[in-house]
Amino acid sequence: DGGITQSPKYLFRKEGQNVTLSCEQNLNHDAMYWYRQDPGQGLRLIYYSQIVNDFQKGDIAEGYSVSREKKESFPLTVTSAQKNPTAFYLCASSVGTSGSSYNEQFFGPGTRLTVL
Amino acid sequence: DAKTTQPPSMDCAEGRAANLPCNHSTISGNEYVYWYRQIHSQGPQYIIHGLKNNETNEMASLIITEDRKSSTLILPHATLRDTAVYYCIVRVEAAGNKLTFGGGTRVLVKP
């Protein structure tokens, strides 16, 4: 089946530790995205990547880092510099990032990170 | 970015049509209106999008006013599984297809 996978579904870490969230897609999409969602809120963009070896900051990039070494993978590292890391993290992908109307984003199931 | 305004919540009877309004009065000419929904603790799911004309697919219909300042998502026969938060989004053409999510409308379908 084609889709986006995120693992694990639930993740617990101690304060001060870096943690990396996985995101893999087999849709052959060029673009990938990371969003953060807090309870009762909409999604906020952390980072996005339009192509391999390239990525840009979103609205709330501070305290996060990403890499895009492979088309299929876009891992997100939540560093100890992120003040409030506990949240629901969603990864998405799309065919591309042009103005085409056929560029809807497909989302993974999310990872719920809790920092103790 | 063109911002959107949606009612925070609404109830709908199972089997009836659900009409979800969205205001986007600052939308620019080349921006599309997208609708997504998010069932509790899952990733958002694409529903439909449009530019000027009304659109229909197997999930819903999208009605966009002639001045494009507002739109309505119609779920023709709501089921209990349609209970979710529905987001109306105006897509920014620059900055890599970024989706800016607002608070959405929390729709509760009741039996």
Nearest to B98 by CA among A78, A6, A60: A60
Q: What is the pLDDT of residues B17-29, one digit of tens each?
A: 999 999 999 998 8
Least confident of A84-93, B40-49, B64-73: B40-49
Whether the Cβ atoms of residue B20 and residue B109 lie closer than 8 Å to each other:
no
How far is residue A77 from each of residues A28, A36, A64, A85, B8, measured CA to CA in Å?
23, 13, 6, 11, 33
Nearest CA in chain B to A50: B96
User: Cα–Cα distance between A79 and A85 in angstroms, integer?
Assistant: 8
Q: What is the pLDDT of residues A36-83, one digit of tens each?
A: 999 888 899 999 998 899 999 999 999 999 999 999 999 999 998 888
A104 → closest Cβ in B34, B95, B100: B34
- What's the pLDDT at B95? 46
User: Backbone phi, then psi, for B80, in 5-degree steps?
Assistant: -60, -30
Q: Which region, left, alpha or beta, applies to residue A50 given φ > 0 means left and ψ of -120 to 50 means alpha?
A: alpha
Label residue A86 by pLDDT band (50, 70, 90).
very high
- What's the pLDDT at B10? 97
Interface of A with B (CB under 8 A): 4, 31, 33, 35, 40-45, 48, 50, 56, 58, 88, 90, 92, 94, 96-99, 101, 103-110, 112
Q: To probe the interface with B, which of A107, A112, A113, A114 has the most B CB atoms within 10 Å?
A: A107
Nearest to B49 by CA among B97, B106, B1: B97
Q: What is the pLDDT of residues B74-101, one digit of tens each?
A: 999 999 999 999 999 987 655 456 677 8
